């Protein structure tokens, strides 16, 4: 059944107005007609069965019928990645959503060559991935922030898995505790010696290796999240 992310509150009988693009998708691409059902979620009220009750010139109206699943959230995992080329950032956001990240934080390092992203585009990618994977929330995507400032404001209760291309412990042996975590992926040129020294000196940081090969940022992000999920994530659910 079609799943759609909406922003309005969901309750029995609640009217839901999808965006114009979503309305076109429902009626022109998926060919829904009056009385047809679909699933909707907003990240707060769980997943609901909804019925298409009106087709207007500028959109459609849905009616929430009954809750199918109560609200649930995935692991408390953030993915922090240095800004790279547009296509690779988009892949990273899509796969982060698929693999259960609650948040994607973009950062600018000393060797970052790209400093502009379209957050609206990345938000749309995250929503689409959430719709397709069955999760009941959508990961937020943050504006790029300099790595130094990000670390200055860090909450020390959140562990940081620092993926260091110069070496570190295997993820399976280094990451053994659940709880709030973040994964840090550097730029294509790697971290500077100064950044690496600071990261390794932080008490909440765990330096890990992703193997003997140099990985591109998008591959590294997918590999790191997969290894983290296998170690302490929610895959058993």
pLDDT tens for residues 73-117? 999 999 999 999 999 999 999 999 999 999 999 999 999 987 689
Domain boundary among 51, 69, 87: 69
pLDDT number for residue 188: 86
Looking at the predicted structure, is the pLDDT value of residue 126 above 90? yes
Domain boundary among 39, 69, 99: 69
Contact 220, 185 (CB under 8 A): yes
Q: Are residues 47 and 85 in the same domain?
A: no
- The model's pLDDT over 192-237, given as tens digits with 9 standing for 90+, comes to 999 999 999 999 999 999 999 989 999 999 999 999 999 999 876 5
213: in domain: yes
* Residue 218: φ, ψ to 5°: -70, -40
**DSSP state at residue 136:** S
Count other C-beta atoms under 10 Å from residue 198's C-beta: 15
Which runs of consecutive H residues, i.e. helices, occur in 6-118? Answer: 20-24, 86-98
Q: How many domains does the chain have?
A: 2
Looking at the predicted structure, is the pLDDT value of residue 42 above 90? yes
Q: Are residues 18 and 65 in the same domain?
A: yes
Domain boundary among 69, 92, 121: 69
Q: Measuring CA to CA, which residue among 103, 108, 102 is closest to residue 82? A: 108
237: in domain: no
In sequence order, what are the beta bridge partners of 82?
A: 107
**Could you tell me the residue range of the domain that residue 38 belongs to?**
3-69
Give the span between the Cα atoms of 25 and 218, in whole angstroms: 29
| pTM tops 0.75 | yes
Q: Are residues 27 and 104 in the same domain?
A: no
CA distances from 189 to 111, 114, 121 (A): 6, 12, 25
- The model's pLDDT over 20-32, given as tens digits with 9 standing for 90+, comes to 999 999 999 999 9
What's the chain's average pLDDT?
Answer: 95
Give the span between the Cα atoms of 85 and 72, in whole angstroms: 33
């Amino acid at each position: 059944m079609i799943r759609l992310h909406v922003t309005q509150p969901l309750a029995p009988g609640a009217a839901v107005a999808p965006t114009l693009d979503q309305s076109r998708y429902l009626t022109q691409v998926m060919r829904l007609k009056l009385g047809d059902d679909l699933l909707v979620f907003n990240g707060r009220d769980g997943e609901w069965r909804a019925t298409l009750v009106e087709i207007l010139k500028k959109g459609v109206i849905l009616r929430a019928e009954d809750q199918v699943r109560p609200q649930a959230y995935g692991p408390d995992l953030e993915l922090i990645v240095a800004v790279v080329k547009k296509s690779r950032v988009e892949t990273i956001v899509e796969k982060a959503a698929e693999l259960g990240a609650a948040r994607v934080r973009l950062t600018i390092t000393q060797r970052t060559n790209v400093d502009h992203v379209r957050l609206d585009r990345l938000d749309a990618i995250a929503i689409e991935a959430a719709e397709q994977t069955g999760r009941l929330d959508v990961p937020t995507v943050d504006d790029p922030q300099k790595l130094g400032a990000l670390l200055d404001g860090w909450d020390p209760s959140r562990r940081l898995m620092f993926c260091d291309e110069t070496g570190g412990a295997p993820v399976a042996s280094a990451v053994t505790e659940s709880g709030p975590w973040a994964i840090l992926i550097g730029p294509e040129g790697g971290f500077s010696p100064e950044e690496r020294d600071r990261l390794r000196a932080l008490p909440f940081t765990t330096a890990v290796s992703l193997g003997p090969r140099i990985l591109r940022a998008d591959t590294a992000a997918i590999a790191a999240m997969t290894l983290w999920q296998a170690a302490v994530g929610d895959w058993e659910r």
